Amino acid sequence: METLHQDTSLSQQDRHTKMMDIHQTGDAQIRALLDSTQQKKWDEMQARRERGQGHHHGPPDAGDRQPPPPQP
């Protein structure tokens, strides 16, 4: 995935499309290994992940950090 992310020979849209294909294939392979209860939980986790995308404006733990103290 990192190699694809750094591939400058593809347009940003093409890289995004390939990454989405990789994610969908991986998700399908994982889901196929789960029983029905696990599949339901997996689907819920994926839905939460999808709703959360696009709301990050910094590192994942940015909200947990205290701002630096003011300089005198």
Tens-digit pLDDT profile for residues 5-52: 777 888 888 888 888 898 899 999 999 999 999 999 999 998 998 888
Report pTM: 0.54
Query: Which sign does the torsion angle of CA 61, 11, 3, 34 carry?
Result: positive
For residue 55, what pLDDT band results from cuts at 50, 70 and 90?
A: low
What is the structure's pLDDT at 33?
Answer: 96
* 36/41 Cα distance (integer angstroms): 9
Given the structure tokens 């999808």, which residue do they identify? 50
Say if residues 4 and 18 touch (Cβ distance below 8 Å): yes
What is the structure's pLDDT at 57?
Answer: 47
Burial 1-15 (b: 16+ CB within 10 A, else e): eeeeeeeeeeeeeeb
Which residue would you say has higher pLDDT here, 55 or 46? 46
